[in-house]
Chains A and B, each alone.
Chain A
Amino acid sequence: MTNRITSLVGLAIVTAVVAIIPFVAPNSFYLDLAIRTGINAVVVLGLNLLIGFAGQISLGHAGFIGLGAFASAVLPTHFGWHPLAAMAAGSLAAGALAAVVARPIFRLRGHYLAMATLGLGIIVNIVLRNEAQWTGGPDGMPVPAMTLFGIDVVSDRQWYWIVGALLLVSIWASLNLIDSPFGRAMRALHGSEVAARVVGVDVTRYKVAVFVMSAMFAGLMGSVTAHYVGFVSPALADFGHSVELLTMVVVGGMASVFGSVVGAVLLTALPQLLATLEGWETVAYGAVLVLCMIFLPKGLVPTLAARFERRRR
Chain B
Amino acid sequence: MLAQLLQFSFSGLTVGATYALAALGFTLIYNASHVINFAQGEFIMIGGMLAVFLVGLGVPLPFAIVLAVAVAALVGVLMEKLAIEPVGRGDTLALVIVTIGVSLVLRGAVQVWLGKGSHALPSFSGDAPILIGGAALMPQSLWVLATSAAVVVALAWFFERTLAGKAMLATAINRTAAELVGIDTDRVLRVSFALSAALGALGGILITPITLTSFDVGIMLGLKGFAAAVVGGLGSGLGAIVGGLLVGLIEAFCAGWLSSSYKDAVPFVLILFILFFLPSGLFGPKTTERV
Contact = CB atoms under 8 A, between A and B. Distances in A.
Interface residues of A, number: 44
B6 to A, nearest CB: 28
B103 A120 contact: no
A289 B271 contact: no
Given A115-B230, A289-B98, A294-B83, A283 B272 contact: no
Given A111-B291, A290-B101, A281 B108 contact: yes
Interface in A88-144: 101, 104-105, 108-112, 114-116, 118-120, 122-123, 126-127, 130
A136 to B, nearest CB: 15
Nearest to B100: A243
B172 to A, nearest CB: 15
Contact of B100 (A122, A127, A193, A289): A289
B87 A109 contact: no
A127 B268 CA distance: 12
A110 B291 contact: yes
Interface in A276-292: 279-290
A166 B166 CA distance: 56
Contacts of A105: 275-276
Contacts, number: 127
B3 interface: no
Nearest to B82: A290
A122 B101 contact: no
B145 interface: no
B291 A290 contact: no
A293 B223 contact: no
By size class, the interface of chain B is 35 or more
Given A283-B112, A286-B101, A118 B96 contact: no
A220 interface: no
B108 A246 contact: no
B279 A112 contact: yes
Given A119-B227, A119-B269, A294-B87, A104 B109 contact: no
Given A126-B262, A246-B97, A293-B87, A101 B272 contact: yes
A119 B271 contact: yes
A282 B275 contact: no
A57 interface: yes
B45 to A, nearest CB: 13
Contacts of A246: 97, 100
B268 A118 contact: yes
The 10 A-B residue pairs whose C-beta atoms are closest, nearest first, are: A286-B104, A289-B101, A282-B108, A283-B108, A286-B105, A119-B268, A119-B271, A290-B101, A109-B290, A279-B112
Interface of A: 51, 55, 57, 101, 104-105, 108-112, 114-116, 118-120, 122-123, 126-127, 130, 193, 239, 243, 246-247, 250, 254, 279-290, 293-294, 297
